[in-house]
Structure 1
């Protein structure tokens, strides 16, 4: 299906700590600690996520009881942290961490609503035989429950959604990136529709396919306009009296320079 939804019947309190391993946003690794509370009680499910750039590489879920790798980069981290001494410490600290968070942040988080921000951008794939990707990036929203739907030419798109990532930002907001496989055809209009409790009506952002020839014509037109203006400004004939003459098919117009006294 061409739609995605991240939902949770429980409220989520998210705290985060980050450690930069390199330069640039994509080289940043951080850990996010989450407590998911069921029906407003202190019964909590603890989740710890290890994020590299914008991708979750491994996570710990207290309902599972150990770390699970999502990518090959996260495999050595999961193996290292699945040692008994580390897990024993984690099991003992989860209840204290979530109980403290519940008492401190319950009143703040329950009624909080933050509107999402949307951006659409294309992403080229490495293989020429693989369709291009269109990414709908939805950021800075709270709570986590959100629906993201793709539209094509005004109709719900049933194309293949290849990735859906819901990640906490560590500042009491979330982000989601929904990637859609597409074959660009001139004139097609894609749209990302977002449903969230903070919005009175769904938010829709459009993206229109532009072929290489269309982009080239637009660039040529802009360059031609700029060159034409330069020629007009610098190349017009000027009389000895300082008057500039503009000629056209049936006459001429004389421009006199302004004088200030």
Structure 2
């Protein structure tokens, strides 16, 4: 039994078939190669094992530094790779050694050396041509996260979603004055549709009537988007104030009614005393 649990005959079959497939791919599309860079050796292995070939481009400082990686993964293990920073291929397992040795032949290395320009730089320019001038406006909303304790400040969350490109500026204002303390910007997130989203929170203790404004500036906008949130009275305190107000109002009406009654009663007594004896009641 060969390393990795693969029978020796099958392992040699796979390695030989792979090298042949790679050689064919140098000049033309190999019939043995499946779409998307996936290869198989034979029906003996194809049901249980999968070979993945992945090409990666890593960009630093725009296009100032480009790194090209070509990786072979058998099953779930990387067996060999080519790194343009090294300039040659490296085997990670015994199974990948013959592949790395083949890749390190001059005719194949010359192909890999050119991949930085032919593959990475070309695709970067193509992507750039597609995205140049692309503008998608952000959608903005404000949400609240109320603190469990009344002594702790609440959080106001300004969310900007679905925008492109990624550069965006978000500011918080309280009653017209910009807030800087307590403002936290979370990490910019990539969506799966070439758009971005971000959340900027404000830690504050809102008072009744305070007006909070989230302002978002983006290249897709002619004028900034502004969303407002107005602090409302606490529902528990509001009910208490309403109850107290109702009690005071009811007490006022009761006192007023009592005064009117006493006044009318006094007037009746005065009229009765001034009337002739036969007309008194």
**TM superposition score normalised by structure 2:** 0.43
Quick check: which one's strand share is greater?
1
Quick check: which one's helix share is greater?
2
Does 1 or 2 have the higher relative contact order (CA < 8 Å, sep 6+)?
1
Q: Which has the larger radius of gyration?
A: 2
